[in-house]
A = this chain, B = another copy of it.
Amino acid sequence: MTKELLERLRVNDVRFASRLMSDVENNVQSKDMNDLLYAHSLKAVRIGITGPPGAGKSTLIDQLIDQFRKDGKTIGVVTVDPTSPFSGGSLLGDRIRMSQHTLDKGVFVRSMGSRGMIGGLARKSHLLGEVLACTGKDYILFETIGVGQAETEIIQNVDITIVVLVPEAGDEVQFMKAGPIEVADLFVVNKCDRDGAERVSELLSEYLQDGKEKGDNVPEIFLTSSTSGHGIEDLHEKALTLIERFKSSGELELRRERQYLKRVQGALRDELVAQFWNGQPELDMDAEITALRRAKKSPFTAAKYLVDSLNK
Protein backbone atom coordinates (compact mmCIF):
# COMPACT_ATOMS: atom_id res chain seq x y z
CA MET A 1 0.00 0.00 0.00
CA THR A 2 2.52 2.64 1.11
CA LYS A 3 4.99 1.38 -1.52
CA GLU A 4 2.41 2.30 -4.11
CA LEU A 5 2.15 5.79 -2.63
CA LEU A 6 5.92 6.10 -2.80
CA GLU A 7 5.77 5.16 -6.48
CA ARG A 8 3.32 7.99 -7.12
CA LEU A 9 5.80 10.39 -5.54
CA ARG A 10 8.62 8.94 -7.61
CA VAL A 11 6.87 9.60 -10.91
CA ASN A 12 6.47 13.19 -9.71
CA ASP A 13 2.69 13.14 -9.33
CA VAL A 14 2.46 16.77 -8.30
CA ARG A 15 -1.12 16.73 -7.09
CA PHE A 16 -0.48 13.66 -4.98
CA ALA A 17 2.67 15.18 -3.48
CA SER A 18 0.76 18.37 -2.67
CA ARG A 19 -1.98 16.44 -0.94
CA LEU A 20 0.51 14.43 1.07
CA MET A 21 2.26 17.63 2.11
CA SER A 22 -1.04 19.09 3.25
CA ASP A 23 -1.58 15.95 5.31
CA VAL A 24 1.85 16.47 6.87
CA GLU A 25 1.04 20.08 7.70
CA ASN A 26 -2.26 19.02 9.24
CA ASN A 27 -0.56 16.19 11.12
CA VAL A 28 -2.78 13.52 9.54
CA GLN A 29 -0.31 11.72 7.26
CA SER A 30 -0.15 7.98 7.72
CA LYS A 31 2.59 7.27 10.26
CA ASP A 32 3.45 4.15 8.26
CA MET A 33 4.87 6.38 5.56
CA ASN A 34 7.52 7.93 7.79
CA ASP A 35 10.08 5.17 7.31
CA LEU A 36 9.63 5.09 3.55
CA LEU A 37 9.83 8.88 3.27
CA TYR A 38 12.94 8.99 5.42
CA ALA A 39 14.72 6.08 3.74
CA HIS A 40 14.13 7.41 0.23
CA SER A 41 15.06 11.00 0.95
CA LEU A 42 18.69 10.48 1.86
CA LYS A 43 20.12 11.02 -1.61
CA ALA A 44 18.91 14.61 -1.86
CA VAL A 45 21.20 17.39 -0.63
CA ARG A 46 19.56 19.90 1.70
CA ILE A 47 20.60 23.55 1.64
CA GLY A 48 19.42 26.10 4.20
CA ILE A 49 19.06 29.72 3.14
CA THR A 50 18.46 32.05 6.03
CA GLY A 51 18.47 35.76 6.69
CA PRO A 52 16.25 38.59 7.90
CA PRO A 53 13.03 39.62 6.10
CA GLY A 54 13.86 41.92 3.21
CA ALA A 55 17.31 40.44 2.53
CA GLY A 56 16.17 39.20 -0.88
CA LYS A 57 16.37 35.49 -0.10
CA SER A 58 13.56 34.53 -2.44
CA THR A 59 15.01 36.29 -5.48
CA LEU A 60 18.37 34.78 -4.67
CA ILE A 61 16.76 31.34 -4.53
CA ASP A 62 15.05 32.01 -7.87
CA GLN A 63 18.45 32.69 -9.41
CA LEU A 64 20.15 29.75 -7.73
CA ILE A 65 17.38 27.58 -9.17
CA ASP A 66 18.34 28.90 -12.63
CA GLN A 67 21.89 27.75 -12.05
CA PHE A 68 20.83 24.30 -10.83
CA ARG A 69 18.44 23.90 -13.78
CA LYS A 70 21.22 24.75 -16.27
CA ASP A 71 23.04 21.72 -14.82
CA GLY A 72 19.89 19.64 -15.29
CA LYS A 73 19.37 19.36 -11.54
CA THR A 74 15.90 19.34 -9.98
CA ILE A 75 14.95 21.44 -6.98
CA GLY A 76 12.47 21.42 -4.14
CA VAL A 77 11.95 24.49 -1.98
CA VAL A 78 10.40 24.56 1.48
CA THR A 79 9.85 28.15 2.52
CA VAL A 80 8.98 29.00 6.11
CA ASP A 81 9.43 32.73 5.72
CA PRO A 82 6.02 34.32 6.18
CA THR A 83 7.20 37.40 4.29
CA SER A 84 8.44 35.36 1.32
CA PRO A 85 6.80 36.06 -2.04
CA PHE A 86 6.81 32.27 -2.50
CA SER A 87 4.38 32.15 0.40
CA GLY A 88 1.96 34.39 -1.42
CA GLY A 89 3.64 37.61 -0.50
CA SER A 90 3.95 39.75 2.53
CA LEU A 91 1.59 40.00 5.44
CA LEU A 92 -0.62 42.59 3.82
CA GLY A 93 -0.81 40.38 0.78
CA ASP A 94 -0.14 43.13 -1.75
CA ARG A 95 3.20 42.04 -3.07
CA ILE A 96 2.54 38.72 -4.62
CA ARG A 97 5.11 37.88 -7.22
CA MET A 98 5.09 34.66 -9.16
CA SER A 99 8.13 32.51 -9.35
CA GLN A 100 9.36 32.18 -12.91
CA HIS A 101 9.66 28.46 -12.26
CA THR A 102 5.99 27.79 -11.69
CA LEU A 103 5.55 25.78 -14.89
CA ASP A 104 8.81 23.84 -14.60
CA LYS A 105 8.19 20.25 -13.46
CA GLY A 106 11.79 20.11 -12.20
CA VAL A 107 11.02 22.70 -9.53
CA PHE A 108 8.55 22.37 -6.66
CA VAL A 109 8.02 25.19 -4.17
CA ARG A 110 6.09 24.55 -0.98
CA SER A 111 5.42 27.28 1.54
CA MET A 112 4.53 26.83 5.18
CA GLY A 113 2.85 29.36 7.41
CA SER A 114 4.98 29.93 10.46
CA ARG A 115 2.88 32.22 12.58
CA GLY A 116 0.68 30.31 14.95
CA MET A 117 2.18 26.88 14.36
CA ILE A 118 5.51 27.21 16.14
CA GLY A 119 5.14 23.82 17.80
CA GLY A 120 5.64 21.41 14.96
CA LEU A 121 7.21 23.76 12.45
CA ALA A 122 10.69 22.23 12.33
CA ARG A 123 9.44 18.64 12.42
CA LYS A 124 6.95 19.30 9.63
CA SER A 125 9.46 21.15 7.48
CA HIS A 126 11.80 18.14 7.71
CA LEU A 127 8.96 15.89 6.53
CA LEU A 128 8.02 18.22 3.68
CA GLY A 129 11.64 18.16 2.57
CA GLU A 130 11.52 14.36 2.61
CA VAL A 131 8.38 14.29 0.49
CA LEU A 132 10.08 16.58 -2.04
CA ALA A 133 13.19 14.40 -1.98
CA CYS A 134 11.00 11.36 -2.69
CA THR A 135 9.68 13.07 -5.83
CA GLY A 136 13.28 12.78 -7.02
CA LYS A 137 14.49 16.33 -6.41
CA ASP A 138 18.29 16.54 -6.30
CA TYR A 139 18.46 19.56 -3.99
CA ILE A 140 16.05 20.69 -1.31
CA LEU A 141 16.31 24.36 -0.32
CA PHE A 142 14.91 25.55 3.00
CA GLU A 143 14.17 29.26 3.17
CA THR A 144 13.78 30.68 6.70
CA ILE A 145 14.01 34.00 8.44
CA GLY A 146 17.03 33.63 10.62
CA VAL A 147 15.52 33.92 14.05
CA GLY A 148 13.71 31.77 16.50
CA GLN A 149 14.05 28.29 17.85
CA ALA A 150 11.94 26.55 15.19
CA GLU A 151 13.92 28.29 12.43
CA THR A 152 17.15 27.29 14.09
CA GLU A 153 15.98 23.68 14.27
CA ILE A 154 15.15 23.75 10.57
CA ILE A 155 18.57 25.08 9.68
CA GLN A 156 20.24 22.53 11.95
CA ASN A 157 18.77 19.80 9.78
CA VAL A 158 20.41 20.71 6.47
CA ASP A 159 23.71 19.76 4.81
CA ILE A 160 24.97 23.28 4.27
CA THR A 161 23.68 26.71 5.29
CA ILE A 162 23.90 30.03 3.46
CA VAL A 163 23.25 33.17 5.52
CA VAL A 164 22.05 36.21 3.57
CA LEU A 165 22.72 39.78 4.71
CA VAL A 166 22.26 43.20 3.14
CA PRO A 167 24.64 46.18 2.84
CA GLU A 168 22.74 47.98 5.61
CA ALA A 169 23.76 45.21 8.03
CA GLY A 170 26.91 47.07 8.92
CA ASP A 171 26.94 46.72 12.68
CA GLU A 172 26.80 44.01 15.24
CA VAL A 173 23.16 44.58 16.14
CA GLN A 174 22.33 43.95 12.49
CA PHE A 175 24.47 40.82 12.39
CA MET A 176 22.48 39.57 15.35
CA LYS A 177 19.24 40.13 13.51
CA ALA A 178 20.50 37.73 10.87
CA GLY A 179 20.06 35.03 13.45
CA PRO A 180 22.38 32.18 14.16
CA ILE A 181 25.36 33.20 12.05
CA GLU A 182 27.46 30.54 13.74
CA VAL A 183 25.67 27.96 11.57
CA ALA A 184 26.76 29.64 8.31
CA ASP A 185 28.89 27.71 5.84
CA LEU A 186 28.69 30.55 3.34
CA PHE A 187 27.72 34.19 3.64
CA VAL A 188 26.03 36.34 1.05
CA VAL A 189 25.88 40.11 1.11
CA ASN A 190 22.95 40.53 -1.25
CA LYS A 191 21.81 43.72 -3.02
CA CYS A 192 25.51 44.51 -3.40
CA ASP A 193 24.82 47.36 -5.83
CA ARG A 194 23.73 49.36 -2.80
CA ASP A 195 26.15 51.44 -0.72
CA GLY A 196 27.99 49.70 2.04
CA ALA A 197 28.27 46.19 0.57
CA GLU A 198 32.07 46.15 0.64
CA ARG A 199 32.10 47.64 4.10
CA VAL A 200 29.67 45.12 5.57
CA SER A 201 31.68 42.34 3.96
CA GLU A 202 34.85 43.62 5.64
CA LEU A 203 33.14 44.11 9.00
CA LEU A 204 31.65 40.64 8.80
CA SER A 205 35.03 39.21 7.91
CA GLU A 206 36.62 40.87 10.96
CA TYR A 207 33.71 39.82 13.13
CA LEU A 208 34.13 36.20 12.02
CA GLN A 209 37.90 36.32 12.55
CA ASP A 210 37.36 37.62 16.09
CA GLY A 211 34.92 34.91 16.94
CA LYS A 212 36.81 32.05 15.39
CA GLU A 213 38.33 29.30 17.47
CA LYS A 214 41.79 28.07 16.62
CA GLY A 215 41.62 25.80 13.60
CA ASP A 216 38.13 26.92 12.54
CA ASN A 217 37.63 27.74 8.91
CA VAL A 218 36.13 31.17 8.39
CA PRO A 219 33.22 30.92 5.93
CA GLU A 220 33.60 32.70 2.58
CA ILE A 221 31.59 35.85 1.91
CA PHE A 222 29.98 36.47 -1.51
CA LEU A 223 28.68 39.75 -2.84
CA THR A 224 25.59 39.14 -4.94
CA SER A 225 22.97 41.20 -6.70
CA SER A 226 19.63 39.64 -7.47
CA THR A 227 18.90 42.33 -10.06
CA SER A 228 22.08 42.08 -12.12
CA GLY A 229 22.78 38.45 -11.27
CA HIS A 230 26.26 39.41 -10.05
CA GLY A 231 27.95 36.72 -7.96
CA ILE A 232 25.23 34.07 -8.30
CA GLU A 233 27.30 31.73 -10.49
CA ASP A 234 30.22 31.94 -8.07
CA LEU A 235 27.95 31.24 -5.12
CA HIS A 236 26.36 28.26 -6.85
CA GLU A 237 29.73 26.83 -7.81
CA LYS A 238 31.16 27.32 -4.33
CA ALA A 239 28.14 25.69 -2.72
CA LEU A 240 28.59 22.62 -4.93
CA THR A 241 32.32 22.47 -4.17
CA LEU A 242 31.63 22.70 -0.46
CA ILE A 243 29.04 19.92 -0.59
CA GLU A 244 31.52 17.68 -2.43
CA ARG A 245 34.20 18.47 0.12
CA PHE A 246 31.82 17.69 3.00
CA LYS A 247 30.92 14.42 1.30
CA SER A 248 34.50 13.26 0.88
CA SER A 249 35.75 14.49 4.26
CA GLY A 250 33.00 12.74 6.20
CA GLU A 251 31.61 16.08 7.46
CA LEU A 252 28.28 15.46 5.71
CA GLU A 253 27.93 12.02 7.34
CA LEU A 254 28.83 13.52 10.71
CA ARG A 255 26.24 16.27 10.37
CA ARG A 256 23.54 13.83 9.37
CA GLU A 257 24.37 11.57 12.28
CA ARG A 258 24.03 14.46 14.71
CA GLN A 259 20.81 15.57 13.05
CA TYR A 260 19.35 12.09 13.27
CA LEU A 261 20.13 11.97 16.98
CA LYS A 262 18.48 15.35 17.53
CA ARG A 263 15.38 14.32 15.63
CA VAL A 264 15.14 11.06 17.59
CA GLN A 265 15.41 13.00 20.85
CA GLY A 266 12.64 15.34 19.73
CA ALA A 267 10.38 12.49 18.60
CA LEU A 268 11.09 10.65 21.83
CA ARG A 269 9.95 13.65 23.85
CA ASP A 270 6.74 13.86 21.80
CA GLU A 271 6.14 10.12 22.16
CA LEU A 272 6.63 10.16 25.93
CA VAL A 273 4.27 13.09 26.36
CA ALA A 274 1.64 11.49 24.11
CA GLN A 275 1.84 8.19 25.99
CA PHE A 276 1.58 10.04 29.28
CA TRP A 277 -1.62 11.86 28.37
CA ASN A 278 -3.13 8.75 26.77
CA GLY A 279 -2.22 6.65 29.77
CA GLN A 280 -4.52 8.21 32.33
CA PRO A 281 -8.14 8.30 31.36
CA GLU A 282 -9.05 8.07 35.03
CA LEU A 283 -7.14 11.07 36.27
CA ASP A 284 -9.05 14.34 35.89
CA MET A 285 -6.02 16.38 34.90
CA ASP A 286 -7.75 19.76 34.88
CA ALA A 287 -9.00 19.25 38.41
CA GLU A 288 -5.63 17.93 39.57
CA ILE A 289 -3.76 20.91 38.12
CA THR A 290 -6.24 23.38 39.55
CA ALA A 291 -5.83 21.80 42.98
CA LEU A 292 -2.04 21.90 42.71
CA ARG A 293 -2.17 25.55 41.76
CA ARG A 294 -4.49 26.37 44.68
CA ALA A 295 -1.98 24.64 46.95
CA LYS A 296 0.66 27.00 45.50
CA LYS A 297 2.82 24.13 44.31
CA SER A 298 5.45 25.21 41.79
CA PRO A 299 4.92 23.97 38.22
CA PHE A 300 7.91 21.63 38.70
CA THR A 301 6.47 20.02 41.82
CA ALA A 302 3.09 19.78 40.11
CA ALA A 303 4.61 18.02 37.10
CA LYS A 304 6.53 15.59 39.28
CA TYR A 305 3.41 14.82 41.28
CA LEU A 306 1.41 14.07 38.12
CA VAL A 307 4.11 11.83 36.64
CA ASP A 308 4.47 9.96 39.94
CA SER A 309 0.69 9.52 40.16
CA LEU A 310 0.71 7.73 36.84
CA ASN A 311 3.72 5.57 37.62
CA LYS A 312 2.10 4.25 40.79
Q: Answer whether residue A16 sits at the interface, using C-beta atoms and an 8 A cutoff.
A: no
A175-B293 Cα distance, complex, nearest whole Å = 36
Contact call B276/A264, Cβ cutoff below 8 A: no
Contact call A267/B35, Cβ cutoff below 8 A: no
Q: Answer whether residue A283 sits at the interface, using C-beta atoms and an 8 A cutoff.
A: no
**Given A269-B269, A272-B272; 13 other pairs, CB 8 A cutoff:** A31-B300, A35-B296, A35-B298, A38-B296, A83-B172, A118-B152, A148-B148, A260-B293, A264-B289, A264-B303, A268-B306, A268-B307, A275-B307
Copy number in the complex reads 2
Interface size on A, residues (CB 8 A): 57
Contact call B176/A300, Cβ cutoff below 8 A: no
Residues in chain B near residue A176, CB distance under 8 A: 53, 82-83, 91
A54-B267 Cα distance, complex, nearest whole Å = 37
Q: Answer whether residue A103 sits at the interface, using C-beta atoms and an 8 A cutoff.
A: no
| A52, A265, A266, A298: most-surrounded residue (chain B CB, <10 A) | A298
User: Knowing A52-B177, A172-B90, A272-B276 touch, does A34 contact B267 (C-beta < 8 A)?
Assistant: no
Residues in chain B near residue A304, CB distance under 8 A: 267, 271
Q: A: which residues have CB within 8 A of B?
A: 31, 34-35, 37-39, 42, 52-54, 82-83, 90-92, 118, 147-150, 152, 172-173, 175-177, 257, 260-261, 263-273, 275-276, 289-290, 292-293, 296-304, 306-307
Residues in chain B near residue A268, CB distance under 8 A: 273, 276, 303, 306-307
Residues in chain B near residue A275, CB distance under 8 A: 307
Residues in chain B near residue A272, CB distance under 8 A: 269, 272-273, 276, 307
For this complex, 11 residue pairs linking A to B, each with C-beta atoms less than 8 Å apart, are A31-B300, A38-B296, A38-B298, A91-B172, A92-B172, A260-B293, A264-B306, A267-B302, A268-B273, A268-B276, A272-B307
